[in-house]
Chains A and B, each alone.
Chain A
């Protein structure tokens, strides 16, 4: 027996099944497209339209139910106490082809509302906040440096418009420096909360930059150590003479290592960072003390050896 397919078409639901020649519906999630978008996304049992449930009762118990999207299938399963499967690509394609096209104006408002909803939720995710902060901190740091260099090479004449400009400029640079300070503190505390192990191994700022360069905590956790080592490097990797570090160059204790040994340190540090981020992403165990001890031992080792 052919299954009954329950399928959403944007803000409205339909059933396509052997009971009727034409799809039954539309059953709007809500007359207001913005409310419909939120319902579409959440799809709790209370979000399924009552009229739609009444229509579902006419589906014979022997008939198989398939529903798409997934959250709809789950909601209907809970409401009807029947098993609701997932359609195959081909079943879904044929089901969708039978449906009438949505009203353009309604569809547009639904799509925009849904996009805004998803975007805001994605941006609110703690990891996205960390990434944005890391990028902002990097950008502000660059402009602070640029302004400072420009100020260094600026030649002024006492008691002239140039001098007044320099004074005003100094104030502006001071404000920018304060902004950087505040931003850095926010970033560091955020990194210590989200990726505590990584933050203690490489330092909170570098930890945040690594996450930003990888595109997320779980993305970084999936990377092998050699890729972490080169994250953020601009040169092209090559077997002969590639880059040895990217973001990691600014890591904690890098400055304590003799210049000729920094590549080796970056390699070891990347291996420790890989362990640390995996703990942060998955087990949430506190490995910081052990990893930091291993890191510091490595630094001492590299300092003793001649470069």
Chain B
């Protein structure tokens, strides 16, 4: 660690640290895993806790935080389901956020990335890798207990349906959350990126009280982080069945 750099817990989570560097702010996650680095990221030690640099250019979740995401992040001690974990770049950071008492069930269907995810899971005690297709949640229903949240990062045209199906089966109950790193480029050209975002919001707002979504530009072009809390009560308060709430007045808790 460089002298003079000061790490402080971010507003979002005590396991997510922020450190000023020049005019920018860097994000670090307090790791639960062992070295070596997962994808070449920097490690450092802060007050006897090992931390890993959480780069917005590498991870869509980090980009969302940098772009001012105010919704809840996965927090300590929770169980989460991660769809589309690939080789575990973001998944490792989500596991870090969940801490040693949390669990991350990470689903990936491609064989080669999964091999790397498995190697990662050997070093990350709270990571549970599953080689399965997220389109068929019944295939791993007996492996994953009810979870506090579902994080979806799948570049497929039907990514929202995949998320909804998994959320329906695995979410613990009202108040549980979904987050989706929406890749609009894989959702067809019949709508613009922002059109896809609006469609995704109205799709999810039928079941979820949404957080304000954020675009992930300039880190990930055409991507958005969208998410919300599952809950009929909040939805009714938002005024009207199936009607997307007007932008800017979305009923979502701000901050943890």
Residues of A within 8 A of B (CB): 7-10, 68-70, 72, 86, 89-90, 92-93, 96-97, 99, 101-102, 104, 107-108, 111-112, 114-116, 118-119, 122-123, 128, 215
- Which residue of B111, B121, B141, B172 is within 8 Å of A122 (Cβ)? B111
Q: Are B122 and A89 in contact (CB under 8 A)?
A: no
Q: Are A97 and B146 in contact (CB under 8 A)?
A: yes
29 contacts between A and B (CB under 8 A): A7-B141, A7-B142, A8-B143, A10-B143, A69-B138, A69-B142, A70-B139, A72-B142, A89-B138, A89-B168, A92-B138, A92-B141, A96-B145, A96-B146, A97-B172, A102-B145, A108-B128, A111-B128, A112-B129, A114-B143, A115-B129, A118-B131, A119-B111, A119-B114, A119-B118, A119-B131, A122-B114, A128-B111, A215-B110
How would residues 3 to 20 of chain B score, 1 for a CB under 8 Å from any chain A CB and 0 otherwise? 000000000000000000
Q: Are B141 and A119 in contact (CB under 8 A)?
A: no
Residues of B within 8 A of A (CB): 103, 110-111, 114-115, 118, 121-122, 125, 128-131, 137-139, 141-143, 145-146, 165, 168-170, 172-173
Q: If A69-B142, A115-B130 touch, does A93 touch B169 (CB 8 Å cutoff)? A: yes
CB of A31, distance to nearest CB on chain B (Å): 19
Q: Are A89 and B145 in contact (CB under 8 A)?
A: no
Please report the C-alpha to C-alpha distance between residue A108 and residue B130 in the assembled complex, in whole angstroms. Answer: 12
Secondary structure dominating the interface of A: helix
Q: If A119-B111, A122-B131 touch, does A8 touch B168 (CB 8 Å cutoff)? A: no
Which chain A positions have C-beta within 8 A of B114?
Answer: 115, 119, 122
Which chain A positions have C-beta within 8 A of B110?
Answer: 215
Q: Are A10 and B142 in contact (CB under 8 A)?
A: yes
Q: Are A8 and B145 in contact (CB under 8 A)?
A: no
Please report the C-alpha to C-alpha distance between residue A96 and residue B79 in the assembled complex, in whole angstroms. Answer: 14
Q: Are B169 and A115 in contact (CB under 8 A)?
A: no
CB of A85, distance to nearest CB on chain B (Å): 13
Which chain A positions have C-beta within 8 A of B146?
Answer: 93, 96-97
CB closest chain-B residue, reference A14: B142
Please report the C-alpha to C-alpha distance between residue A104 and residue B52 in the assembled complex, in whole angstroms. Answer: 25
Which chain A positions have C-beta within 8 A of B142?
Answer: 7-10, 68-69, 72, 96
Which chain B positions have C-beta within 8 A of A90?
Answer: 168
Q: Are A115 and B121 in contact (CB under 8 A)?
A: yes
Interface centre among A96, A97, A107 (most CB of B within 10 A): A96
Which chain A positions have C-beta within 8 A of B170?
Answer: 93
Please report the C-alpha to C-alpha distance between residue A69 and residue B137 in the assembled complex, in whole angstroms. Answer: 10
Q: Are B131 and A93 in contact (CB under 8 A)?
A: no
- Which residue of A9, A93, A101, A123 is within 8 Å of B111 (Cβ)? A123
Please report the C-alpha to C-alpha distance between residue A90 and residue B170 in the assembled complex, in whole angstroms. Answer: 10
Which chain B positions have C-beta within 8 A of A7?
Answer: 141-142
CB of B120, distance to nearest CB on chain A (Å): 11
Please report the C-alpha to C-alpha distance between residue A29 and residue B210 in the assembled complex, in whole angstroms. Answer: 41
Which chain A positions have C-beta within 8 A of B121?
Answer: 111-112, 115
Which chain A positions have C-beta within 8 A of B145?
Answer: 9, 96, 99, 101-102
Q: Are A70 and B118 in contact (CB under 8 A)?
A: no
- Which residue of B111, B131, B139, B169 is within 8 Å of A89 (Cβ)? B169
CB closest chain-B residue, reference A7: B142
Please report the C-alpha to C-alpha distance between residue A86 and residue B169 in the assembled complex, in whole angstroms. Answer: 14
CB of A116, distance to nearest CB on chain B (Å): 7
Q: Are B111 and A111 in contact (CB under 8 A)?
A: no
Please report the C-alpha to C-alpha distance between residue A195 and residue B125 in the assembled complex, in whole angstroms. Answer: 42
